[in-house]
Amino acid sequence: PEIVKPEHYIKHPLQNRWALWFFKNDKNKTWQANLRLISKFDTVEDFWALYNHIQLCSNLISGCDYSLFKDGIEPMWEDEKNKRGGRWLLTLSKQQRKTDLDRIWLETLLCLIGEAFDEHSDDACGAVVNVRNKGDKIAIWTTDCENRESITYIGRIYKERLGLPPKVVIGYQSHTDTATKSGSTTKNKYVV
């Protein structure tokens, strides 16, 4: 009989199990009621099965989010792993929804599930994309906003993976600052 090698039937395990969440803005419901867990996966093959099955970000209506977080971390500031953390934030122009949004989100997902941030990958909690008519946002969330070394390492690798030129600066903001801001912008704690 033909012998089938294990690499032909064993799926490729990821370092972490991940959960994909979907948020749809319904003003008649609470924020938490608008947040739904879509599915969890922990292999490369199951990631693609899910990714290929769902809508691209650019097809979502304004007010929707996708969040990908490590299993056990909820995609909200209040979670124990997020409450002292912050995010590397990319703000996209309206034009970039057509040209860049889906590409950047997929690259963000691949960075996370592939553990692209080396020994600092443990600091990455997840990522969020906000689809908004005024401008879409993509962010990588990390667990501790005081962990400068990990945060700047993650930021540099992320910027490199997105192919952003050196003159483009991205900023990291703590969730506390974002939650308590008074104007429309939050001050950057770090930049790369």
Partner 1 sequence: GKKRYDREFLLGFQFIPASI
For the chain, the helix, strand and coil percentages under 3-state DSSP, each to the nearest 5: 30, 25, 40
Pairing type for strands 86-91 and 13-23 reads unpaired
Q: Which of residues 126-155 bind partner 1 (CB under 8 A)?
A: none
Q: Can residue 71 be called a binding residue for partner 1 (CB under 8 A)?
A: no
Q: Can residue 61 be called a binding residue for partner 1 (CB under 8 A)?
A: no
Q: Can residue 8 be called a binding residue for partner 1 (CB under 8 A)?
A: yes
51/190 with CB nearer partner 1: 51
90/111 with CB nearer partner 1: 111
Helix axes 148-161, 101-113, angle to 10 degrees: 130
Candidates 24, 26, 45, 56; binder of partner 1 (CB under 8 A) is: 45
Which span (27-35, 46-54, 78-86, 139-147) binds partner 1, by CB under 8 A?
Answer: 46-54
Query: Residue 111: enclosing H or E segment and its boundaries?
Result: helix 101-113
| Residue span 160-179 as binding mask against partner 1, x where in contact by CB under 8 A, dash where not | -x------------------
With tokens 């969730």, the residue in question is 175
Candidates 67, 82, 108, 121; binder of partner 1 (CB under 8 A) is: 121
Do the Cβ atoms of 162 and 60 come closer than 8 Å?
A: no
Candidates 30, 52, 182, 184; binder of partner 1 (CB under 8 A) is: 52
End-to-end CA distance of the chain: 57
Do the Cβ atoms of 144 and 85 come closer than 8 Å?
A: yes
Do the Cβ atoms of 139 and 128 come closer than 8 Å?
A: yes
Binding residues (CB under 8 A) for partner 1: these are 4, 8-15, 44-45, 47-49, 51-52, 107, 110, 113-116, 118, 121, 161
